[in-house]
Amino acid sequence: MIDRPRTVVQRWLDRSVLALGVLLFVSPAVSVFLWMLSLAFKNEVDNLAYPPVFIPTAPTLANFASVFRENNFLLYFWNSIIVTGVSTAVALLIGVPAGYGIARLKAKKLLLVILIARMTPAISFLIPLFTLFQALGLTGSITPVVITHLVITVPIIVYVVSGYFETLPPELEDAALVDGCSLWQRFRYVALPLARPGITVAAILAFIFSWNNFIFGAVLAGRTTRTLPVAVYNVLTFEQVAWGPLAAAALLVTLPVLVLTMLVQKEIVGGLTAGGVKGG
Amino acid sequence: MARVQLSQIHKKFDKVQVIKGVDIDIASGEFAVFVGPSGCGKSTLLRMIAGLDSPTAGEIVIAERVVNQLPPKERGISMVFQSYALYPHMTVGQNMAFGLKIAGTAKSSIAEKVAAASKILGLDTLLDRLPRQLSGGQRQRVAMGRAMVRNPQVFLFDEPLSNLDAKLRVQMRAEIRALHQRLGTTSIYVTHDQIEAMTMADRIIVLRDGLVEQVGTPVELYDRPVNTFVATFIGSPSMNLLPATMAADGRSVTLDGGASLRLKQALPTMGLRKVVLGVRPEHLHLASDSAAALPVVAQLAEFTGADTQLHCTLHGTQLQAVLRERIGVAAGDSLALTPEQFHLFDAASQQRIETAIC
């Protein structure tokens, strides 16, 4: 492209076209979200009104109150925290050293195997898993849910972290080797501190995917051990379609992930522009 | 302080033979420089001495111990890397202390050693800074300090000055040399820059394509290069190489083009052999008498202040001369140059023809 100075009008035109394009792509998703927001704060009359009312005539928090009152919402929230928290933590414990090993040994094939496990449709192994947990007498408890969520969290962490470890200059580890470090010391004192941005991003991504997961909780959890996405689904089936409380519940489930997603944005940019990892 | 010996070192990466049988003996306390063009295997050799790579065959002996099976920390070596390889998340002090910390040295002892090394290198005010807050020269000194505190038997330098600007390079060259004179530790220094090799080395090992071309002091390499590769590699500007033929009686050499030069010592057994005449630019002078002279046509004269670098042609062959005299020369002028000394190499083998320097 020729670097001719753009006039003010041309630049304004560029920006407008870009904005229009972005709007076209983003509007379906955003409009659904905005509608959900609107549903949550409107009373039932407004929600069923036709023509549809977008801005609440009398904004209310009654839907949120109903969600907490009629369902054991806090229990489900706590279940989600346990399942996602524990599976992410375990995945970090296994996945970060695994990512390091894969990066250093250049074990591309092993990485592929791990990714295939992630990409395999959950349905295909849920039934055997269910039978297995049933034989162990674990169905209905929260343990099988945590274990199966590892299928989500471990591959993400291994993949992101191994990619990050590969960007660390190998000369740093040569220097650590000359300084007398064993493999674990190299990992602990040199590689790990430098990979912190990558590990943070990986952990947040694993958290998001695990939090949103529906299928494992739906199949393997019991009434008191279900996670939030499953609980929202059950609001739909067990009671009449109460749009207000449904939207409120969906919003509550989405909120933590939304916040984390915004955090991930900052971390990704931060990790890329830190520039601290240049071999000194 | 330790002697380092490499015996019959071979190194293969997959199918590629990188080091093809290298024997080197470095005396205790010596500053040895491995020099050669990119890809000659000098960094590979250094890494094998350090223990970061292992040879496919051959033995590495440090301080009379065979170290092939030993990890770097047990070889008594320290290394300074080309890109410094400082730990970016640690301060200068922590960088220097790291090796000692891993070795389990007492904290008071660590503090003492770091303080001593940082004093010598002028880093005592920078101990709390991170590497990214330092200049290139400061980072290089931290890298040297990190190597020094462990009191190694052998220092290894892998092109440490390549990332510095010209002026800083000259300064750091002198500092490294001064450090060596102060500490007396055996040092192996790898560089592709022949000036660094010439100014810093006790002995130079010239490498090409995984083999040792010549080992000697800077003077030996300059005065008696063993082949045309070493002859043109050492010395800047490079030695001029001119194709020639020995006269039948072995008393003179005739350049392709007609000019002929007498030899100080006749070589009758070499009659009519094709040779390469090598003459260094600084050994060419303006001829006072046209008898033993090379008639050249000037192309360009570069005045550097101390001397004039003359680019010219001799019967179509490019020639470069470095003249002390200030001469007013324009392109196309004819001049006569005479060599103060020259070297003869066999044209087929490119090897030096041993004879008194002509």
Sequential DSSP letters for B144-182: HHHHHTT--SEEEEESTTTTS-HHHHHHHHHHHHHHHHH
For residues A206 and A156, the answer to whether their CB atoms sit within 8 Å is yes
* Cα distance between residue A231 and residue A153, in whole Å: 21
Residue A6: the pLDDT is 73
**Gap from B83 CA to chain A (nearest CA, Å):** 7
* Cα distance between residue B317 and residue B257, in whole Å: 9
In the predicted model, is pLDDT for residue A111 greater than 60?
yes
Q: Do A279 and B98 touch (CB under 8 A)?
A: no
**Rounded percentage of chain A residues whose pLDDT exceeds 70:** 90
Residue B253: the pLDDT is 87
Q: Cα dihedral sign for A186, A188, A193, A194?
A: positive
A217 within a domain of the structure (yes/no): yes
* Cα distance between residue B249 and residue B270, in whole Å: 8
CB proximity B144 to A under 8 Å? no
Greatest CA span in chain B, whole angstroms? 77
Residue A269: the pLDDT is 59
Q: How far is CA A179 from CA A8, A219, B95, B100, in A?
A: 58, 52, 10, 8
CB proximity A183 to B under 8 Å? no
What is the mean predicted confidence (pLDDT) over A226-231? 84
Q: How far is CA A280 from CA A234, B91, B113, in A?
A: 55, 10, 22
Residue B97: the pLDDT is 94
Q: Residues in chain B with pLDDT < 50? A: 356-357
User: Which CATH number applies to B238-346?
Assistant: 2.40.50.140
ipTM metric: 0.84
Report residue A280's pLDDT band, with 50, 70 and 90 as the boundaries.
very low
Residues B53-94 have pLDDT tens digits of 999 999 999 999 999 999 999 999 999 999 889 999 999 999
Q: Which residue has the tokens 């039934």?
A: A127
Residue B292: the pLDDT is 66
Q: Residue B155: which residues within 8 A CB-CB, separation 6 or more?
A: B77, B78, B79, B80, B147, B180, B185, B186, B187, B188
Q: Structural domain tally of chain A? A: 1
- B108 token code pair: 């008071």
Residue A2: the pLDDT is 61
- Which residue of chain B has the CA closest to A193? B89
Q: Do B71 and A175 touch (CB under 8 A)?
A: no
Superfamily in which the B4-232 domain is placed by CATH: P-loop containing nucleotide triphosphate hydrolases (3.40.50.300)
Task: Count Cα atoms within 13 angstroms, Cβ side, for A167.
Answer: 15
Residue A40: the pLDDT is 83
Residue B157: the pLDDT is 95
Q: Residue A137: which residues within 8 A CB-CB, separation 6 or more?
A: none
Report residue A42's pLDDT band, with 50, 70 and 90 as the boundaries.
confident
Q: How far is CA A177 from CA A100, B205, B256, B272, in A?
A: 16, 27, 57, 58
State how beta strands B31-35 and B186-191 pair: parallel
In the predicted model, is pLDDT for residue A18 greater than 80?
yes
Q: Which residue has the tokens 């949550």?
A: A40
What is the mean predicted confidence (pLDDT) over A158-177? 91
Residue A3: the pLDDT is 62
**Gap from B191 CA to chain A (nearest CA, Å):** 17
CB-closest option in B88, B95, B132 to A194: B88
Residue A274: the pLDDT is 42
Residue A58: the pLDDT is 74
**Gap from B246 CA to chain A (nearest CA, Å):** 53
In the predicted model, is pLDDT for residue A191 greater than 80?
yes
A38 within a domain of the structure (yes/no): no
A52 within a domain of the structure (yes/no): no
- Which residue of chain B has the CA closest to A278? B88
Q: What is the pTM of this model?
A: 0.81
Structural domain boundaries of chain B? Answer: 4-232, 238-346
Residue B51: list chain A partners with CB under 8 A: 177-178
Report residue A279's pLDDT band, with 50, 70 and 90 as the boundaries.
very low
A157 within a domain of the structure (yes/no): yes
CB proximity A171 to B under 8 Å? yes
* Cα distance between residue B22 and residue B39, in whole Å: 15
* Cα distance between residue B208 and residue B104, in whole Å: 41
Residue B24: the pLDDT is 95
State how beta strands B294-303 and B334-339 pair: antiparallel
A40 within a domain of the structure (yes/no): no
In the predicted model, is pLDDT for residue A236 greater than 70?
no
In the predicted model, is pLDDT for residue A268 greater than 60?
no
Q: Domain with A118 in it: what CATH number?
A: 1.10.3720.10
Nearest to B85 by CA among A179, A194, A172, A187: A172
Q: Do B72 and A177 touch (CB under 8 A)?
A: yes
Residue A189: list chain B partners with CB under 8 A: 87, 98, 102
A251 within a domain of the structure (yes/no): yes
What is the mean predicted confidence (pLDDT) over A175-197? 92
Residue A273: the pLDDT is 46
Provide the residue range defining the domain that includes A217: 74-273
